[in-house]
Amino acid sequence: MIVVDSNVLAYLYLPGEYTTAAEELLEQDPDWVAPALWRSEFRNILAGYMRRKAISFEQANHLQREAESLLEGSEFEVDSLTVLELVRDSDCSAYDCEFVALAMKLDAKLVTMDRKLLRAFPNRAIALSGGYARSKARDRLASGVVAPEAQNKRRHPH
């Protein structure tokens, strides 16, 4: 299980520089979780794409539903005190600290490309492009474990 921030979801569904890394991550570790806040952040990302005319309203709606399907049953509330403590002890936003708080609550890693998060929480946050998927793949191959459920997870349409 890994906590993914909203940008990792965006990389999965909106083709770009980190799309391949996000796809590899999903294939290698398909148990993605996020705080409920991810929905609003993802909608805001889609809104930006719509305003720039990069995607249509229909495409945005479809991508939101796909992402909601991916995280169905994997959304969590986080403790406000924990979030505020993380904000106090870092220069990260409360929004970003929700993802860290969830990773702490679940004793999981947070996969992100947010430099502030990576600097402030080096023991909890890891970079999407930092080889997480490749290292998990090596672990799975070494143990003989395959992740067939990854085949059932839905990804962005190309």
Length of the chain: 158
Q: Above 90 in pLDDT, residue 133? A: no
Task: Assign 129 a pLDDT band (cuts: 50, 70, 90).
Answer: confident
Written as six digits, the tokens of 140 are 């799975």
Question: Per-residue pLDDT averaged across 114-127, rounded?
Answer: 96
Written as six digits, the tokens of 31 are 């148990």
Q: Above 90 in pLDDT, residue 36? A: yes
pLDDT tens string 46-104: 999 999 999 999 999 999 999 999 999 999 999 999 999 999 999 999 999 999 999 99
Q: List Cβ<8 Å contacts ≥24 apart for 52-58.
A: 55/14
Residue 28 neighbours by CB under 8 Å, 6+ apart: 133, 134, 136, 137, 140, 147, 150
Coil vs helix vs strand at 130: helix
Q: Cα dist. 151→3, 126, 148, 158 in Å?
A: 19, 24, 6, 16
What is the share, in percent, of the chain residues with pLDDT greater than 90? 81
Written as six digits, the tokens of 82 are 């924990």
Closest CA to 99 of 89, 85, 109: 109
What pLDDT is recorded for position 132?
Answer: 58
pTM, two decimals, is: 0.82
Whether the CA torsion 39, 40, 43, 45 is positive or negative: it is: negative
